């Protein structure tokens, strides 16, 4: 058995939620060791940093909470304990001051994760947090000790006063988030909801000519509607279908529609900044143009991709300016299956909230807390994923330290 200081909190998983749990537990006076299966910690954070490291979002907290859909009430206390403003202050204290982009998203000025992670690990080391790398969690033994498979198939058994599990979801297997913990917890009597891809693209049956010409081409601005909800943002045509922020924001509803009906039909507004009457007037002004392509380009201001979308699968476009404007403002697009988990940005599913109490402690395993994407919640991109990972990690770490003291 690996000896640990008395009252140790073991954090299993070295991603954002786990590292925040470690920091919170250490700040509360606990001795903390972080156990990580990979050769280094923070790999998924570094991957997120390739796109600028969108830490959080600047919108009001009430609107912010609503982004978590069915899990909003379950996450409310954690988001209030560590709201976006607190996350920005935390980053500033690490020497990584932040700014708000034009979309309301919050980024570190360095626009990458590596400086923040380095400063964070230095702070954790100064707080006495220890790291045990290349240790994959295997569950518990008959005595309740944590079991890890280490290098060269060595087995380590660890006793801890409290444990925080922060093992991620199932959407990044090559970075360690493979969902391999789910059968372990299910076997321990913990209800685990099946994983599903979230923030993912969806299949579209493009014609060969459309796919060859436009795969990899962005579509912006665009508004996408489904079931009475409209999201404005951007999208991208791909060889398999469509992806992008507007698609990700609707991914839960799209996934449900595809599961129920085999497909989901969304409505695209290709000129969301124009009212349909204004668009019709612009089209009428160029009604004598020699070709439809010219009318769409000069009158509607459509990109080649947007114009091709209007033609894709359609027998012909209306000549009447009002009818054409209505088509541009409400173009149906049929979406098929979501991309598989391994190609999704995040995952839905995980430990059901009914399986934890208000401290994120497992009801079936007192002294074991859960944080981050292991819990069954999902949110769109835009800073919401990292914010909830940090917030749940902080609460779980504090509560684990309190449990260890008891």
Does residue 3 surpass a pLDDT of 60? no
Q: Does a structural domain hold residue 105?
A: yes
What is the predicted pLDDT for the residue at 346?
A: 96
Same domain (yes/no): 191, 231? no
pLDDT value, residue 293: 85
* Residue 1 pLDDT: 44
Q: How far apart are CA 114 and CA 101, in angstroms?
A: 20
State the pLDDT confidence band at 7, using cuts at 50, 70 and 90.
confident
Joined tokens for residue 232: 């404005």
Distance (Å, whole) CA 176 – CA 42: 10
**191/183 Cα distance (integer angstroms):** 10
Measured distance CA(325)–CA(343) in Å, rounded: 36
Do 146 and 210 sit in the same domain of this protein?
Answer: no
Do 246 and 395 lie in one domain? The reply is no
Q: What is the mean pLDDT of residues 231-258?
A: 96
Same-domain check for residues 238 and 186:
no
- Above 80 in pLDDT, residue 200? yes
* 120-136 confidence digits (pLDDT tens): 999 999 999 999 999 99
- Which of 335, 356, 378 is the C-terminal boundary of a domain? 335
Residue 315 CB partners (closer than 8 Å, separation 6+): none
What per-residue confidence (pLDDT) applies to 74? 98
Looking at the fold, whether 157 and 231 belong to one and the same domain comes out as no
pLDDT above 80: residue 250: yes
Q: Is 331's pLDDT higher than 90?
A: yes
C-alpha to C-alpha distance for 99 and 342, rounded to whole angstroms = 31
227 and 259 share one domain: yes
Report how far residue 178's alpha carbon sits from residue 323's, in angstroms, rounded to the nearest whole number.
Answer: 49
Q: How far apart are CA 108 and CA 93, in angstroms?
A: 12
Check whether residue 18 and residue 143 sit in a common domain. yes
In a domain, 1, yes or no: no
Does residue 89 sit in the same domain as residue 173?
yes
Let me know if residue 187 belongs to a domain: yes
User: Residue 210: is its pLDDT beyond 90?
Assistant: yes
Tokens of 77: 């206390």
**pLDDT band at residue 394, thresholds of 50, 70 and 90?**
very high
Whole-number pLDDT of residue 288: 80
Out of 280, 312, 335, pick the residue that ends a domain.
335
User: What percentage of the chain has pLDDT greater than the value 70?
Assistant: 98
The rounded Cα 382 to chain-centroid distance in angstroms is 8
Average pLDDT, integer, range 71-95: 98
Domain tally, the chain: 2
Flag whether pLDDT at 325 surpasses 50: yes
pLDDT confidence tier of residue 2, bands split at 50, 70 and 90: low
Residues paired with 335 in a beta bridge: 264
Does residue 337 surpass a pLDDT of 50?
Answer: yes
Q: Are residues 244 and 318 in the same domain?
A: yes
Maximal CA-CA distance, the chain = 84
Looking at the structure, tell me whether residues 362 and 307 fall in a common domain.
no
pTM (two decimals): 0.93
Could you tell me which residues are beta bridge partners of residue 136? 149
CA distances from 315 to 90, 310, 311 (A): 56, 10, 8
pLDDT, mean of residues 154-178: 94
For the stretch 289-304, what's the b/e string if a residue is b when 16 or more beta carbons lie within 10 angstroms of its beta carbon?
eeebeebbbebbebbe
Closest listed residue to residue 67, CA positions, set 194, 198, 189: 198
Residues 6+ apart with CB under 8 A from 21: 11, 164, 166, 369, 371, 393, 394, 396, 397, 400
Residue 132 domain flag = yes
Same domain, 145 and 210: no
Is pLDDT at 374 greater than 70 in this prediction?
yes
Handedness of CA 87, 88, 92, 94 (dihedral sign): positive
Has residue 340 been placed in a domain? Answer: no
Residues of the domain holding 359: 9-197+345-405
User: Based on the domain organization, do 50 and 26 belong to the same domain?
Assistant: yes
For β-strands 32-36 and 130-133, DSSP reports them as parallel
Over residues 226-252, mean pLDDT = 96
**pLDDT tens digit sequence for 28-65:** 999 999 999 999 999 999 998 887 899 999 999 999 99
The answer to whether the beta carbons of residues 72 and 384 sit under 8 Å apart is: no
Q: Is residue 4 part of a domain?
A: no
- Mean pLDDT over 200-210 rounds to 97
**399 within some domain:** yes
pLDDT score recorded for residue 5: 61
Tell me what the mean pLDDT of segment 343-362 comes to.
97
Output the domain CATH number for residue 163.
3.50.50.60
**What pLDDT band is residue 371 in, cutting at 50, 70 and 90?**
very high
Q: Are 37 and 134 within 8 A, CB to CB?
A: yes
Whether the per-residue pLDDT at 6 is higher than 80: the answer is no
User: In the listed set 335, 360, 378, which residue is the last one of a domain according to the structure?
Assistant: 335
Residue 3 within any structural domain of the chain: no
């Amino acid at each position: 058995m690996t000896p640990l200081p008395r009252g140790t909190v073991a954090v299993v998983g070295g991603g954002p939620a786990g590292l925040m749990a470690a920091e919170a537990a250490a700040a509360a006076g606990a001795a903390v060791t972080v156990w990580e299966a990979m050769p280094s910690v923070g790999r998924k954070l570094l991957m997120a940093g390739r796109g600028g490291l969108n830490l959080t979002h600047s919108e009001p907290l009430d609107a912010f909470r609503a982004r978590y859909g069915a899990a909003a009430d379950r996450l409310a206390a954690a988001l209030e304990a560590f709201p976006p403003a607190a996350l920005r202050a935390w980053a500033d204290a690490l020497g990584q001051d932040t700014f708000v982009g034009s979309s309301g998203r919050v980024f570190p000025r360095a626009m990458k994760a590596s400086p923040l992670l380095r400063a964070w690990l230095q702070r954790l080391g100064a707080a006495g947090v220890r790291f045990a790398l290349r240790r994959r969690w295997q569950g518990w033994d008959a005595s309740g000790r944590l079991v890890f498979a280490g290098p060269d198939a060595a087995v380590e058994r660890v006793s801890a006063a409290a444990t925080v599990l922060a093992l991620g979801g199932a959407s990044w297997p090559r970075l360690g988030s493979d969902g391999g913990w789910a059968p372990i917890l299910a076997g321990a009597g913990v209800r685990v909801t099946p994983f599903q891809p979230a923030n993912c693209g969806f299949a579209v049956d493009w014609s060969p000519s459309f796919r060859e010409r436009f795969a990899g081409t962005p579509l912006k601005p665009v508004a996408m509607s489904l079931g009475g909800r409209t999201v404005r943002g951007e999208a991208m045509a791909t060889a398999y279908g469509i992806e992008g922020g507007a698609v990700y924001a609707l991914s839960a509803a799209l996934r449900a529609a595809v599961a129920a009906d085999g497909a989901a039909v969304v409505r695209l507004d290709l000129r969301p900044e124009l009212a349909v009457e204004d668009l019709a007037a612009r089209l009428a002004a160029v009604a004598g143009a020699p070709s439809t392509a010219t009318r769409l380009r000069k009158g509607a201001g459509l990109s080649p991709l947007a114009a091709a979308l209007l033609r894709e699968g359609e027998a012909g476009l209306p000549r009447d300016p009002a009818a054409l404007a209505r088509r541009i403002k409400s173009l149906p697009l049929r979406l098929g299956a979501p991309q598989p988990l391994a190609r999704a940005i995040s995952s839905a599913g995980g430990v059901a909230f009914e399986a934890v109490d208000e401290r994120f402690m497992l009801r079936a395993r007192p002294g074991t807390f859960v944080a981050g994407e292991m819990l069954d919640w999902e949110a769109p991109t835009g800073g919401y994923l990292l914010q909830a990972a940090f917030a749940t990690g902080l609460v779980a770490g504090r509560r684990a330290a309190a449990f260890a003291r008891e």
